[in-house]
Chain A
């Protein structure tokens, strides 16, 4: 589009973000070799600012509107922070179980949405296959049983959310110090009756992801490949943990860098760098600096970080995953496989949680003394999620800081986009397939970047290739709706 010294700039604009838009800029030198790739998140949401002055008890309801795919994660992270604001350190057993069940339902439905609705068209039909075929409708037509698995798993996760919060999206569940409504026995029985079928479908999903990944193993392992550190929650035992735990960090080779970090003091070891070209910050481990301290979060990180998974079927799947990757797995496309292992874990946890008599208890809320600060940390489907609030004496928010999963993965996504671009943008001819490969790299990290339109094959994209004199050499446009 424009000349910068001896560089040329290729812009993909817009790429969609979390219910919004982003763009990709590829900077080329005079020999058309890629110099730099940038994923810009161009939409400013402003939630941290506009909740200032609102009462703390509204926060879990407000911030869940950040997202339509993982609202429960924001709701629960904020709910955990608000528990601290009202001086509650321990929920009632039923409230804790309900929140966990809600979270398992959320992660299950989000993972199913991502893998089947968003990513599977690429994986099933090929990254450069006919664009008209790369959508969920074609999956339904050509691979009906796979589509059925995805749709029913997603529906089951949403059903859990609905039974607990009253709505499939943006319901009401977590309140200060607990939960607002019990799970009805009839609803428990309804959900429990579906669990065995869902676990079977989840097992099939893991097998599918593993098979697709291994069918073209060399290509999948080198596609957009980067080496990074990984960060995420683990249980005190070292088990995979999605709701409550301490933070573990591993290096590029799987070595333990940090363990047992208290999420409540995240600001002691995580910093955020601001770059002028993006609204999204770049988090890094403070002690390692911005250059070396960036890391990845999400399913791949969690499977790499944990010592084991507490549910038997998912643990078997994890062991197969670890065996293939000989320790820590780095390929971005391994995210999908890891995601399905977590989906299976969630299905197993949903069953075991529903079988506990405490899940239908009525003791839902405890009270405490108001505090000035609360930090809620949770593993959202896409990775670590921090919600940090401060309030005044009257309970009004004075400061808020949210670090969402996509932000943690910012540097990694930029690096993967660059590698993908190096691999697929050759010379001056841009193709739709090349564009989609860049999207595939982004999509592996964060389905929110593609959720707006890709599901029906209409992701709005425009790529323009301009030479050193600013002359348009080539362009490719895909329209949104």
Chain B
């Protein structure tokens, strides 16, 4: 039997075992997120989906829906916190939207627009991160990686290749490639791999689809991310 929670004043039904973000999605309610994707284990790492549950902060992708929950989602307070998290993601990496091939298709950029992020606010760290173009089909730009871990899961569980892991600590954490040289060129990754498709930013890109769509025709040029999830 379906039960109910309240999100931003709206009654939302859920099935036992569902997380808040799953219940919200089924009811057409958008909770901003980056590291969560349907079909993947939620690890709650990016913190963009944080909501207030009965006045306490919780990540919507890892918190189970439960009777009596009253949730603040798109309130000014919650979105302000989310915006700061996205700003920190921007300054922690090197995200050059003006020329990035993923621009207009990038979940990080689209989420920033959704949260009305007008500037970076925090001081840029400008980390030195390496670029890997050694593979014929796929290239890796760690400048753009937000360490969501989705490619790690996808490569292990869907592609059955186990090509990636996250290594290092703190702000030095980076995406590592499972090969003797640490280069993609030595792996059997393919442009068709789910690990490439699931990347929400421009970290893992196909080499052959270079700037395939012009401005105005890209996914988020037409539809904001909050609406795209619920398009038929």
Q: Which candidate, B77-85, B111-119, B211-219, is the interface stretch facing chain A?
A: B211-219
Pairwise interchain contact B133-A173, C-beta atoms closer than 8 A: no
Which residues of B line the A interface, CB within 8 A?
Answer: 98-99, 101, 131, 133-134, 139, 210-217
Within 8 Å by CB of B211, from A54, A180, A395, lies A180
Chain A window 154-179, contacts with chain B (Cβ cutoff 8 Å), 1 for yes, 0 for no: 00000000000111001111011000
16 additional A-B pairs beyond A167-B214, A395-B133, beta carbons within 8 Å, are A53-B131, A57-B210, A61-B99, A61-B211, A165-B214, A166-B216, A166-B217, A171-B215, A172-B211, A172-B213, A172-B215, A173-B214, A176-B210, A180-B214, A181-B214, A394-B133
Q: Which of B131, B211, B214, B215 is the one whose CB lies under 8 Å from A57? A: B211
29 A-B contact pairs sorted by A residue (CB < 8 Å) = A53-B131, A55-B133, A55-B139, A57-B210, A58-B101, A61-B98, A61-B99, A61-B101, A62-B99, A65-B98, A65-B99, A165-B215, A166-B214, A166-B215, A166-B216, A166-B217, A170-B98, A171-B215, A172-B211, A172-B213, A172-B215, A173-B214, A175-B210, A175-B211, A180-B210, A180-B214, A181-B214, A181-B217, A394-B134
A396 proximal to B (CB < 8 A): yes
Given contacts A55-B131, A394-B134, contact A167 B216 (CB under 8 A): yes
B214 and A171: CB pair below 8 A? yes
- Category for how many chain A residues contact B: 20 to 34
CA distance A165 to B212 in the complex (A): 12
**Ordered nearest first, which 10 A-B pairs have the shortest CB separation?**
A166-B215, A166-B214, A61-B99, A167-B215, A166-B216, A394-B133, A172-B214, A62-B99, A57-B210, A181-B214
With A55-B139, A58-B101, A167-B215 as contacts: A396 and B131 at CB distance below 8 Å: yes
A374 CB to nearest chain B CB (Å) = 15
Q: Name the distance in Å between B169's Cβ and chain A's nearest Cβ.
A: 25
**Once the chains are docked, how many angstroms separate the CA of A40 from the CA of B213?**
40
Chain A residues within an 8 Å CB radius of B98: 61, 65, 170
**In the complex the two chains form, what is the Cα distance from A172 to B98 in whole Å?**
11
Convert A123-167 into 0s and 1s, putting 1 for each residue whose CB lies closer than 8 angstroms to a CB of B: 000000000000000000000000000000000000000000111
Q: How far is the CA of A62 from the CA of B101 in the complex (A)?
A: 11
Chain B contact residues: helix, strand, loop or mixed: loop
Chain A min CB distance to B95 (Å): 14
| Least CB distance, A287 to chain B, in whole angstroms | 38
- Report which residue of B134, B139, B213, B215 has the largest number of chain A beta carbons within 10 angstroms of its beta carbon: B215
Least CB separation from A365: chain B residue: B210
A362 to chain B, nearest CB (A): 14
CA distance A53 to B131 in the complex (A): 8
Q: Are B217 and A58 in contact (CB under 8 A)?
A: no
Report the minimal beta-carbon distance from B143 to chain A, rounded to whole angstroms: 10
User: Which chain A residues border B99 with CB–CB below 8 Å?
Assistant: 58, 61-62, 65
CB distance from A46 to the nearest CB of B (A): 14
Complex: how many Å from CA A390 to CA B216?
Answer: 32
Chain B residues lying within 8 Å of A65, measured Cβ to Cβ, are 98-99
Q: How far, in whole Å, are A181 and B210 apart by their CA atoms in the complex?
A: 12
CA–CA, A52 to B55, complex, Å? 50
